[in-house]
Structure 1
Amino acid sequence: MARYEEIARDLRERIAEGEYPPGSALPLMRDIAAEYGVSDITVRKAWGLLTREGLIESRRRAGTFVREHPDRLRLLVRNRQIERDQFGYYSGPEVQHWRAIPWPEGDTTRVATSAVPADVADALDVTAGAELTVRRRIVGDPDVDTRRQLADSWLASWVTEELPQLTGSTGHGGMYDRLEDWAKRPLEWREEASARMPSPDEAEALNMPATGVPLLRVLRVTYFPKMGKKPSRIVEVQDIRMSSAMFAVGYPLPRGASAKWPVQPATDDYYRVSEEDQESGE
């Protein structure tokens, strides 16, 4: 193990044990270097490692501080369900009061034709890199500047061919109302969540630290379910990104078929039965 890794491990333990609590300043680099008998360069490497892990952060002209962590904060849990009020659909009761935040140019929605990312292309069943219409927005809490999300809506090509108005202003109720008005049937949604590190542009738009905090990413597929002779059709994939230091995702756990109530009584001889199975070769 390199010397800077040993120093990082020691500082990591001291942070975990509370010697340097969240929000506190670390000693000056020269003091750390003197304590461990190493050069400033070695300490800088150790700090770089802890910064990438999200444990510490540098503040210009103030020093290096232990970062507040999600497990020490009360995250806003985003309950993933579609709700509706007089303005249209929104994704969960926690964000009903959220509003679109203007981009630097002043628009609240950026509409462009761009190459679709590979995983979004897979969900839309198109070739990665295909040129599709995307509607990009920042949506956030007007009372808490750090509570915001990026939402890129990638539209299937058939949608913009049949509803070209979705490449511009969508009016009251937004895109989903226009789609349901046109199709005369309800939309449905499904989602998958993942995580990755943000790009510099994403971190800036979300008011996130430049390093050390992953994005919480939700891909939401919007589709018309099969209805009578009408087939199921995917209309949009929305790429939603938010700071994992601010949000968690909450969702119900439905019972699967094997857990349908009433259930069979459980047994208390699991380990005995397992040992017998092993002895019999089953």
Structure 2
Amino acid sequence: MPRYEQVANDLRARIYAGEYEIGTTLPTYAELTELFGVGRGVISSALGLLEREGLIRVVKRAGIRVLDWRIQRRRISRGQSVMRDPYRGYVFPAASHAGEPWVMHGKAHRSYEPAPDRIAHLLGVEPGIAVLRRRRVTSPANEPPFQIVDTWLSPEAVRDAPMVAEASTGLGGYIDRLEEAGHGPISWTEHSRAKIPSREEAALLDISGESAALELTLIGTSAASGKAVDVTVRVIPADRAELVTELRRDDSAQWPVSPVTPRPEEGSG
């Protein structure tokens, strides 16, 4: 076994045993090289392995933090139903359970930000143009940050429904305001992909920059213009969620199977 794997195994065992508690820091690079009698390169490789496993996060000038590895993976049901709550408005498939309290980490932010290339493409605007972004970081109560939620609203959406740019968008939320402004009924499509989080995303989610993240992008399309009026992007640590989809039988796959007439042999009359 390579020496860096031996070091990683030792540190992993110490973390699981509680010798290095969650939220504390590991010894410094210099202390680890002395502890294991190896060079800095071996320590760097061992820590990189533990980072990719989501056990630690190396933060410049702050040390090597031990992350909460006990958090259970949550299931996100990817059904096709969009429901509606009379008070909260539209409810999309999520990782929350009925009645489970969720909290916000920090404050919700509203700001005009340069549209990243992908967001600009989806909204049909020039890359880099200032677009309204509503951001919040949330999780179940008493858990570390679970997701970053960024909602980008097209300039037309803000023009037609100015209330979407305010702190409180009123009963039902910003989607109700968009539909009331003439864009209803809005339809949605969702794209899912894996990605490496940006440095900012890793910091907000308190995860290693080496860890994979799950990105769910929900595109809301106006019935009036046929164009996207909002794009909501959720970034979730990949080791904390799994997508679950219930498969349904098509009419052609109903059971019991109907008798099938044998195909005529090739070349027969």
TM-score (normalised: structure 2): 0.70
Contact 2:135 2:151 in 1 (8 A): yes
Deviation at 1:11, TM superposition (A): 5.7
| Uncovered stretches (5+) of structure 2, i.e. residues with no partner | 21-26, 261-269
2:147 alignment partner in structure 1: 149
The counterpart of 1:250, out of the listed 240, 244, 252, is 244
Q: Is the 8 A contact 2:138 2:148 kept in 1?
A: yes
Structure 1 pair 11–66 and aligned structure 2 pair: CA distance change class (3 A): farther
- SS of the equivalent of 2:185 reads coil
Q: 1:122 to 1:261 in 2, by over 3 A?
A: farther
Q: Give runs of aligned pairs for residues 114-193 of structure 1, distance below 5 A.
A: 114-141=113-140, 143-146=141-144, 148-168=146-166, 169-183=168-182, 185-193=184-192
Change (3 A) 1:56 1:240: closer
Question: How many residues are treated as equivalent by the alignment?
Answer: 239
CA distance in 2, matches of 1:182, 1:247: 35
Partner of residue 232, structure 1: 226
Change in CA separation of 1:144 and 1:67 when aligned onto 2, cut-off 3 Å? closer
Extract unaligned runs of 5+ from structure 1. Answer: 34-38, 267-282
Question: Which structure is higher in RCO with an 8 Å CA cutoff and minimum separation 6?
Answer: 2
2:7 and 2:39 mapped to 1: Cα distance? Answer: 15
- Partner SS for 2:16: coil
2:16 is equivalent to residue 23 of structure 1: yes
Is contact 2:74–2:241 with CA below 8 Å preserved after alignment?
yes
1:7 aligns with 2:8: no
Deviations 1:50-78 (A, max 9, x none): 13432653799x99979849xxx741111
Q: Is the 8 A contact 1:193 1:218 kept in 2?
A: yes
Q: Indicate the residue corresponding to 2:266 in structure 1.
A: none
Q: Is the 8 A contact 2:58 2:208 kept in 1?
A: no
Q: CA RMSD in A?
A: 3.9
Separation in structure 2 between the aligned mates of residue 102 and residue 22 of structure 1, nearest angstrom? 26
Q: Secondary structure at the match of 1:245?
A: helix
Matches of 2:126 and 2:253, distance apart in 1: 40
CA contact (8 A) 2:135 2:148 kept: yes
> C-alpha separation between the residues in 2 aligned to 1:233 and 1:21?
54
Cα displacement string for residues 19-70 of structure 1 (whole angstroms, at most 9, x for unaligned residues): 949724699644533xxxxx3324323324313432653799x99979849x
Asked whether the equivalents of residues 20 and 66 of structure 1 are also in contact (C-alpha less than 8 Å), the reply is no
Q: Structure 1 residues 123 and 94, CA, compared in 2 at 3 Å: closer, same or farther? A: same
Secondary structure at the aligned position of 1:177 is classed as helix
Q: Once structures 1 and 2 are overlaid, which stretch shifts more, 182-191 or 168-177?
A: 182-191
**8 Å contact from structure 1 (residues 133, 154) kept in 2:** yes
Please report the TM-score for the alignment, with normalisation by the length of structure 1. 0.67
Secondary structure of 2:239's counterpart equals coil
Q: Distance in 1 between matches of 2:232 and 2:46?
A: 37
Q: Relative to structure 1, is the Cα distance of residues 21 and 190 closer, same or farther in structure 2, using a 3 angstrom cutoff?
A: farther
Match of 2:83 in 1: 83
Query: Once the 2 structures are TM-superposed, how far is the Cα of residue 154 of structure 1 from its aligned partner?
Result: 0.8
Contact preservation (8 Å) 1:133, 1:155 = yes
- Residues 158-211 of structure 1, C-alpha deviations (whole Å, 9 max, x = no match): 1112112211131111101112222273222111112223334323322x3334
Write out aligned runs for 1:26-65 (5 A).
29-33=33-37, 39-54=38-53, 56-57=55-56
In the other structure, the counterpart of 2:265 is none
Aligned partners of 2:102 and 2:148: how far apart in 1? 12
